[in-house]
Structure 1
């Protein structure tokens, strides 16, 4: 199953890269064919830990989890960023993504949500000159056949 074209992957990773230029925060996209748990949020929590997003220095990692066949997704922000933006921010992100996903514009919706997350991260965790990219900007994939 081919989820994204090479151009689409490039657009997503560029969105991550551009968002992270302005912040010490980390953004990751993980895509799976189907969710192995009852809830995409619960699976996203597992993936969050597997990808070490829970080990960033300032606890400011953000995960965008997509389960393609199940047509489900979740967004998780680590403790540091969640305490700053609150649940309402994540709900707005989900609402935006859902609107784009329902109209068939998955990459556009994901890219815009990444940009919004980057702006929030920049506000609370601005880029520092000694910043290290702790998590790869590449999309990670699980159980894609």
Structure 2
């Protein structure tokens, strides 16, 4: 049987809902917010973490859905075009990273982070995996986006708190 067992029987939305309620507690979301906030102090990048418990029926492909979320959350709307979306589809067990034009990182590097998240989530190490992914993204943004000096003058243009969809 290929794919997620819940998807195969048509109950993948329940799996995602259960994960979002059971795993992503208020305390965990606050710790992730703090990690993103402190990370953004060291570069001009703007990280948005979007967690969706059930991918909508109109967009069953996670890459397409991540692009839609990137636009809807206005991750592109930063002065230096340094917005980055880390999209998690809990019911599909898929991860996507969409970076704006101001972030010059090879696609293979983003795929490595997604693979890391895949393995950490499979081991039920949700928070540890996300914190490690944020640290890795921070290193990449420091290399490509610099210190934050520029037209935005280090302002925070996008929310640091994870967005639950």
Tell me the TM-score normalized by structure 1: 0.89
| Corresponding position of 2:134 | 114
Which stretches in structure 1 are left out of the alignment for 5+ residues? Answer: none
| Alignment partner of 1:58 is 2:80 | yes
| Corresponding position of 1:93 | 113
| Alignment partner of 1:79 is 2:93 | no
How many matched pairs? 140
Task: Name the CA distance, whole Å, in 1 between partners of 2:109 and 2:140.
Answer: 9
Secondary structure, counterpart of 1:57 in structure 2? coil
Task: Name the CA distance, whole Å, in 2 between partners of 1:93 and 1:54.
Answer: 21
| Corresponding position of 2:68 | 46
Task: Name the CA distance, whole Å, in 1 between partners of 2:72 and 2:107.
Answer: 23
Offset of residue 111 of structure 1: 1.4
Q: Which runs of 4+ in 1 moved over 6 A?
A: none
| Corresponding position of 2:14 | none
Offset of residue 141 of structure 1: 1.4
Offset of residue 18 of structure 1: 1.6
Offset of residue 93 of structure 1: 0.8
Offset of residue 105 of structure 1: 0.8
Instruction: Name the larger-Rg structure.
Output: 2
Tell me the TM-score normalized by structure 2: 0.79
| Corresponding position of 1:137 | 160
Task: Name the CA distance, whole Å, in 2 between partners of 1:46 and 1:62.
Answer: 13
| 1:1-12 pair list within 5 angstroms | 1=17, 2=21, 3-12=23-32
Greater length-normalized contact order (CA 8 Å, ≥ 6 residues apart): 1
Q: Is the 8 A contact 1:19 1:119 kept in 2?
A: no
Secondary structure, counterpart of 2:106 in structure 1? helix
